[in-house]
Amino acid sequence: MGDCETRQGAYQDSLMNLESLRKSLVRQEDTIIFSLIERSNYPINSLLYDRQSSASFFHCFLKESEAVHAKAGRYTSLEENAFFPDDLPPPLLPPPKQEPALHPSGACININEKILDLYMKTLLPLIAAKGDDGNYAATAANDLACLQALSRRIHFGKFVAEVKFRDAPQDYTPAIRAKDREALMKLLTFESVEEMIKKRVEKKAMVFGQDVQLQENESTGKYKVKPEVVSQLYGEWVMPLTKIVQVEYLLRRLD
């Protein structure tokens, strides 16, 4: 997990609260939907992902891009998790001024392998048309943007879990001590909130993915990414994976 140890720094309190996290999560929905719409500009372009002798072109693109980002200090932020966290070059720029606000044991949780697998096998065929137009670099750059946006959103579960724990440690401590994943999952699940989020991202996909015309006119019902795919993405993957991050974080919270 690379330089995770070195970036924990002092484990301090911060002004972080559920309302500020919620605001960021809502804003991140826009980023995720923009990135999906941009990726949908290109067909699958599967040559990019074919395994050559060892790794695919995309694997190299992602790894090399992360190295460039690492030098600019991306992974000194606790909000960012690399897909290939080993052997990243050190940052050349000073780290963000934010105070670390995560418990050291949970800060290093990284489920990007799962996110990458899901993106490739399940999400990509839902947002990109079949075919190959040869625009591999633009395609890879858009994949990178999608993956970073999804990874950031899902790993935000660490901050959400931290704040929830601080607000009511008595609610979580028994289940943590009992290592009871199921009980923790129950404590973290609010179905009505999840339904509302699914509806909101579906609406956002309609607003951001429409063909904007100068004249006010009837909706064509055509969107760049199917709104129901975005709702499904959130309902089946983004929110469940965020909760898995939360559960794993809480399980380490008393270490």
Q: Residue from 55, 60, 129, 254 that binds its own copies (CB under 8 A)? A: 60
Q: How far is the CB of 187 from its own copies (least distance, A)?
A: 25
DSSP string covering the chain: -TTTGGGT-S----S--HHHHHHHHHHHHHHHHHHHHHHTTS---GGGTSB-SSSBHHHHHHHHHHHHHHHTTGGGSTT---SS-TTPPPPSSPPPSSPP-S-HHHHT---HHHHHHHIIIIIHHHHS-SS--S-HHHHHHHHHHHHHHHHHHHHTHHHHHHHHHHH-HHHHHHHHHTT-HHHHHHHT--HHHHHHHHHHHHHHHHHHTS---SS-----S--SS-HHHHHHIIIIIIHHHHHHHHHHHHHHTT-
10 binds its own copies (CB under 8 A): no
9 binds its own copies (CB under 8 A): no
How far are the Cα atoms of 25, 123, 207 from residue 223, in angstroms, in the given order?
Answer: 23, 17, 9
179 binds its own copies (CB under 8 A): no
Q: Residue from 124, 140, 150, 154 that binds its own copies (CB under 8 A)? A: 140
Can you tell me the distance from the alpha carbon of 242 to that of 195, in angstroms, rounded to the nearest whole number? Answer: 15
Closer of 136 and 185 to its own copies (Cβ): 136
Q: Residue from 210, 228, 235, 252 that binds its own copies (CB under 8 A)? A: 210
Q: How far is the CB of 176 from its own copies (least distance, A)?
A: 32
130 binds its own copies (CB under 8 A): no
Size of the site for its own copies (CB under 8 A): 52
Q: Residue from 21, 44, 126, 141 that binds its own copies (CB under 8 A)? A: 141
14 binds its own copies (CB under 8 A): no
Can you tell me the distance from the alpha carbon of 249 to that of 244, in angstroms, rounded to the nearest whole number? Answer: 8
From residue 80 to residue 99, the character string flagging contacts with its own copies as x (rule: CB under 8 A) and all else as - is: x-----------xxxxxxx-
Stretch in the footprint of its own copies (CB under 8 A) among 3-11, 64-72, 103-111, 122-130: 64-72
Q: Residue from 7, 16, 39, 74 that binds its own copies (CB under 8 A)? A: 74
What is the binding site for its own copies (CB under 8 A)? 27, 30-31, 34, 37-38, 41, 47-48, 57, 60-61, 64-65, 68-74, 77, 80, 92-98, 132-138, 140-141, 145, 148, 196, 199-200, 203-204, 207-208, 210, 212-214
